[in-house]
Amino acid sequence: MEAERHEIVVIGAGVSGIYQIKRLTDLGIDAIVLEGDDDMGGTWYRNRYPGARFDSESYTYGYSFSKELLDEWHWNERFSAQPENLRYLNYVADKFDLRRHMRFNARVQTMIWDDVEHEWTIELQTGETYIARFVVTSLGPLSMPTLPRYDGIDEFAGESFHTYHWPKEPIDLAGKKVGVIGTGATGIQVIAELADKVGELKVFQRRPNWSSPLNNGPISVDEMAAIRDRYDEIFTNCSASPGGFEHVPDRRGFWNLTAEERIETWDKLYQQSGFAILAANFLEIFFDEKANQEMSEYIANRIRDRVDDPEVAEKLIPQDHGFGMQRLPLETRYFEAYNRDNVHLVSLADAPIERITANGIQTAAEHHDLDVIVYATGFDAITGGYDRIDIRGVDGQTLADKWSESPRTHLGALTHGFPNMLMVAGPQSVSGSTNFPRAIEIGVDWLTDLLVHAREQGATRIEARLEAEQHWVEEVVRAHEKMLFRRSKGWFTGYNSNVAGHQEGKIRYQAYFGGSPKYVAIIDQAAADGYPGVELV
Ligand code: NAP
């Protein structure tokens, strides 16, 4: 079969890939998107589990690039759910006629760099081959789900699936005994949603997570009209904030206020929606151990107020990390789920899982009979999507090898030794730490400008300079070191117990935590200076 040639191949038709192909085709560049799934939408195509919804305000999550689109789309809820989110992405693709540039069931298996011709050869699982001058990876930071490595996992006779692979066809869980393993942002959403819809729900919790109310609600036609009028202001506010939200950090100074004044502030934040409790909190909670402890105790007391059984409440309160030190899950009546007779918390800290059996889960203490097991066990975050492709750069070096200890990039966008591979939402960009679409629009625009610049220069090979990469890695490490969360587990610090090679306590520097405004200032300066960290040939 002859290889199909394009100037640019984009990999992944999720939130990033959709905008990337829009930008490229608007410029008249010959580009296509290769998508492994049988349809577009990425994270919102896959995560169909009950309760899956934004925890960014819907109107700050949507694309900002088209006024017409902003005027046409009505968000029904403040934090919109998966079906509506997928409809939105399809609406965008149809409106701008983007589907014709997308190939589905096109899972990329290998990418091999040719340093003579200056092009990538991309082979799919199907055996089809593409050749492209440039590849833009928009693989998604959370697209590689991970299952636990328990014995017997294949022996379970009932239905079992990772939340990322929740079946497309509706499944009837009424009256069933359901086990959920995992209490991250996903687990917390799905547990709260399933509690009153299943016969019995057992939650297998290894470590509890802090969580606070999402405070969702509908958006009326009038409210949506007011939001539309404010879109310019909304996106300006998002671009000024570290996390890409409208919330503004409280800069009055934690220690300038009395303990009562702080509680008064937190009482208000607890009623607000979304990430206000983090992003509009005192900045000190992220840097000052004592401030963080006081905040954590406040949230612990809220959990104690909401959970009837004091023993269960204590088990739901994290002891090994403070509030906001891992990615904060947002919840809707999650803690109240444990007040129901049919919901049971199984603390794996007391009795770990020994194995999965044909009809349930065996812990060190007892056997739990189950009809369905839901694995809400997370992802090989940020670099997982890269690791599943065999990517070979200059002199046959593999990307997996280069990044085996920790990823290394220039501005989260390029990596030395892998010319003409440009990453949207790549490792060490700001995407992992920001309201995602806000960061990807920034990333896509920057990469597109770089591609245009390269074409204008007649360059056929662009590569991050080694010293520029080293400089950025040091900046990423410096930003991490300032944050208290550097000592916690979880994907912020690049740890997943289910991934071979990850070591507890060893940080993989996967995201830039210096805040979006600082990141934008740095990458904009690089562009204004003619991309000094990138060699063009
Ligand atoms: P996660 O935060 O990594 O949580 C995984 C959970 O599974 C943790 O509770 C973990 O326990 C547990 N776990 C993993 N392996 C286990 C094992 N072998 N045995 C027992 N328990 C195990 O994953 P996630 O909840 O899917 O969330 C990942 C990210 O996706 C979030 O942080 C967020 O960025 C994104 N997300 C976003 C939304 C949204 O925007 N609305 C919703 C959901 C998820 P330990 O804590 O002990 O490791």
**pLDDT tens readout for residues 330-352:** 999 999 999 999 999 999 999 99
d(CA 329, CA 305): 19
| HEC assignment per residue over 260-303 | HHHHHHHHHHHHCCCCHHHHCCEHHHHCCHHHHHHHHHHHHHHH
Pick the residue whose CA is nearest to atom 34 on ligand 1. Answer: 327
Longest dimension (CA), the chain: 73
Question: What is the crossing angle of helices 221-229 and 231-240, to 10°?
Answer: 60
Q: Which of 203, 327, 373, 380 to mutate to test the pocket of ligand 1 (most atoms within 8 A of CB)?
A: 327
d(CA 69, CA 485): 38
Q: What pLDDT does residue 488 have?
A: 86
- Among 41, 73, 76, 79, which Cα is nearest to 58's? 79
d(CA 383, CA 5): 27
Residue 28, burial from CB neighbour count under 10 angstroms (0-12, 13-18, 19+):
exposed
- Among 63, 56, 53, which Cα is nearest to 433's? 56
225 CB-near residues (< 8 Å, 6+ apart): none
Q: Which residues of 121-140 are buried (b: 16+ CB within 10 A; e: fewer)?
A: bbbbeeebebbbbbbbbbbb
d(CA 278, CA 247): 9
Tokens of 331: 């919840």
Residues 236, 242, 248: CA angle, nearest 5 degrees = 70
β strands within 36-145, DSSP E: 102-103, 108-114, 119-124, 129-137
Q: How far from each other are the two terminal CA atoms of the chain, in whole angstroms?
A: 31
- Among 103, 135, 101, 99, which Cα is nearest to 118's? 135
Residue 205 and residue 353 in contact, taking contact as beta carbons nearer than 8 Å: no
Provide the 3-class DSSP secondary structure of residue 180. Answer: strand
Q: What pLDDT does residue 1 have?
A: 77
List, in sequence order, the alpha helices (H) in 388-435.
Answer: 399-402
Ligand 1 binding residues, C-beta < 6 A: 53-55, 142, 148, 181-187, 189, 206-207, 327, 348, 376-379, 491, 497-498
Ordered per-residue pLDDT tens for the chain, 537 residues:
799 999 999 999 999 999 999 999 999 999 999 999 999 999 999 999 999 999 999 999 999 999 999 999 999 999 999 999 999 999 999 999 999 999 999 999 999 999 999 999 999 999 999 999 999 999 999 999 999 999 999 999 999 999 999 999 999 999 999 999 999 999 999 999 999 999 999 999 999 999 999 999 999 999 999 999 999 999 999 999 989 999 999 999 999 999 999 999 999 999 999 999 999 999 999 999 999 999 999 999 999 999 999 999 999 999 999 999 999 999 999 999 999 999 999 999 999 999 999 999 999 999 999 999 999 999 999 999 999 999 999 999 999 999 999 999 999 999 999 999 999 999 999 987 899 999 999 999 999 999 999 999 999 999 999 999 999 999 999 999 988 888 888 888 899 999 998 998 899 999 999 999 999 999 999 999 999 999 999
Q: Which of 377, 434, 489 to mutate to test the pocket of ligand 1 (most atoms within 8 A of CB)?
A: 377
What is the CA(209)–ligand 1 centre distance, in A? Answer: 9
Atom of ligand 1 nearest to the CA of 182: 7
Q: What pLDDT does residue 394 have?
A: 98
Tokens of 497: 């117990």
> What's the DSSP call for residue 333?
S
Distances from the Cα of 116 to the Cαs of 3, 4, 113, in angstroms? 18, 19, 9
Tokens of 85: 């989110």
Q: Which of 46, 49, 149, 206 to mutate to test the pocket of ligand 1 (most atoms within 8 A of CB)?
A: 206
What is the CA(206)–ligand 1 centre distance, in A? Answer: 11
User: What's the alpha-carbon Rg for the chain, to the nearest Å?
Assistant: 23
d(CA 266, CA 291): 13
Q: What pLDDT does residue 72 have?
A: 98
d(CA 138, CA 412): 12
Question: What is the crossing angle of helices 259-271 and 289-306, to 10°?
Answer: 50
Q: Top-level CATH class of 4-144+380-536?
A: alpha beta
Tokens of 42: 């990425």
**Strand order, beta sheet including 343-347:** 159-162, 372-375, 177-181, 200-205, 343-347
